[in-house]
Amino acid sequence: MKPSGVYGTPPAELAEVPAGAIQFSPLIPGSGPLEQQEEGTLSELVVLAPPGTVERRYTIALALRALAPGGSLTVLAPKDKGGSRIAKELKSFGCNSTETSRRHHRICTGGRPALPVGLEEALTEGNPRRDETLGLWTWPGVFSWNRHDPGSALLEQNLPPLGGRGADFGCGIGILARAILASPKVEHLAMLDIDRRAVEMAARNVDDPRVELRWADIRTGTELKGLDFVVMNPPFHDGGAEDQSLGQTFIRRAAEALRPGGVLWLVANRHLPYEAVLKSLFKRVTPKIEANGYKIYEAVK
Ligand SMILES: C[S@@+](CC[C@H](N)C(=O)[O-])C[C@H]1O[C@@H](n2cnc3c(N)ncnc32)[C@H](O)[C@@H]1O
């Protein structure tokens, strides 16, 4: 019996995930890489599809490649986050599906055709690539994969030289790490991100012996202690929905990881409520720069 798989965490009332299904989401540390799953080796796959078109078509193409002919594929997503396009996208791969609508989601179920079409094109489009404008390796689906995030750019331009041992929380593809590592006094930098693809791209972008990369969920703790600095542009979305508590948790984890006198550099959207939590955990909190809707804080433990 071939194994079955799941991509992400589809709501239980919308799709039944087979018992023992292998998790393939790059956003769940420890899961398997779908791009490395051998062709035709899965009996069934349930995919909570990502919102970005290139990433979604790539994921569906990977799913069809991994499934055995006739294997069952369920793809679902919120209607306004790509769900309404799934049936058409499946059809473009030669896969007929039945579509149902429940709780603002579209749920499409079909069998893997004997000969899917157009997989190579979708796989090429969604693969990692070097973006010459960014000057970095990137992968459709990772944070700000095809543009320079203005918040990160602001912090990059205003980060003072740092020194000692530190961490980059939610490192993405390594934009801030490159600025941090430009300081020769930095001895060690732990780079953590929940997205495996970001960690893989960061490894290509930041080739430096002082770096240690970790695919990890910062919410569950980092085990880092006594650091001299932490740098972050914290996320404020979880599974597509705004979640301000995520950034607040990042700040708590930074406070736990820093030594007394250690410093946190943080950039965030001006409207995000981080100041109170910063003030409750740090000795001195200084708003340093405000520009283009972003704010940079220096917080000393
Ligand atoms: C706003 S982006 C910043 C990325 C990068 N530092 C930059 O400036 O381009 C936030 C990053 O946090 C990561 N992230 C989100 N939730 C996380 C979590 N619970 N644990 C670790 N990383 C997380 C995202 O994958 C994303 O790469």
Please report, for the domain that includes residue 262, its CATH number: 3.40.50.150
Q: What is the pLDDT of residue 240?
A: 66
Q: Are 237 and 209 in the same domain? A: yes
Percent pLDDT > 90 in the chain is 93
What is the number of domains present in the chain?
2
Q: Whose CA is nearest to atom 2 of ligand 1?
A: 235
DSSP-derived 3-state class of residue 162: coil
Distance CA 57, CA 157 (A): 35
Q: Is 175 in the pocket of ligand 1 (CB under 6 A)?
A: yes
Query: Closest Cα to residue 268, out of 246, 245, 244, 296?
Result: 296
Q: Are 157 and 289 in the same domain? A: yes
Q: Could you tell me the CA-to-CA distances from 116 to 94, 99, 251, 269, 300 in Å, in that order?
A: 5, 19, 46, 43, 56
Q: Are 135 and 252 in the same domain? A: yes
* 167 pLDDT above the threshold of 90: yes
Q: How confident is the model at residue 195 (pLDDT cuts 50, 70, 90)?
A: very high
- Please, are residues 26 and 196 in contact by the beta-carbon 8 Å criterion? yes
User: Which residue, 125, 146, 179, sits at the end of a domain?
Assistant: 125
HSE-CB at 162 with a 13 A cutoff on CA atoms is 29
Q: Is 178 in the pocket of ligand 1 (CB under 6 A)?
A: no
Radius of gyration of the chain measured on its C-alpha atoms: 21
User: Which residue, 98, 125, 152, sits at the end of a domain?
Assistant: 125
Q: Are 224 and 109 in the same domain? A: no
Distance CA 164, CA 168 (A): 13
Residue 136 structural domain? 129-300
Q: What is the pLDDT of residue 1?
A: 85
How close is the Cα of 232 to the center of ligand 1, in Å?
Answer: 8
- In tens, the pLDDT along 174-185 reads 999 999 999 999
Distance CA 170, CA 262 (A): 19
Beta bridge partners of 231: 168, 265
Average pLDDT rounded to a whole number, residues 27-38 = 97
Q: Are 223 and 253 in the same domain? A: yes
Q: What is the pLDDT of residue 171?
A: 98
Q: What is the pLDDT of residue 49?
A: 97
Q: How confident is the model at residue 164 (pLDDT cuts 50, 70, 90)?
A: very high
- Please, are residues 104 and 79 in contact by the beta-carbon 8 Å criterion? yes
Q: Which of 17-31, 191-205, 224-238 has the lowest mean pLDDT?
A: 224-238
Query: Closest Cα to residue 191, out of 231, 244, 137?
Result: 231
How close is the Cα of 103 to the center of ligand 1, in Å?
Answer: 29
Q: Which of 143, 148, 237 to mutate to test the pocket of ligand 1 (most atoms within 8 A of CB)?
A: 143
- In tens, the pLDDT along 254-301 reads 999 999 999 999 999 998 889 999 999 999 999 999 999 999 999 999
- Please, are residues 206 and 168 in contact by the beta-carbon 8 Å criterion? no
Query: Closest Cα to residue 219, out of 196, 267, 195, 251?
Result: 251
User: Which residue, 106, 125, 144, sits at the end of a domain?
Assistant: 125
- Please, are residues 4 and 44 in contact by the beta-carbon 8 Å criterion? yes
Average pLDDT rounded to a whole number, residues 142-157 = 93
- Please, are residues 91 and 152 in contact by the beta-carbon 8 Å criterion? no
Q: Whose CA is nearest to atom 11 of ligand 1?
A: 170
CA-CA-CA-CA torsion sign (292, 202, 39, 34):
negative
Q: Are 192 and 287 in the same domain? A: yes
- Please, are residues 155 and 231 in contact by the beta-carbon 8 Å criterion? yes
- In tens, the pLDDT along 209-267 reads 999 999 999 999 999 999 999 999 999 877 667 778 899 999 999 999 999 999 999 99
Q: Whose CA is nearest to atom 24 of ligand 1?
A: 170
Average pLDDT rounded to a whole number, residues 190-200 = 98
Closest atom of ligand 1 relative to the 27 alpha carbon: 25
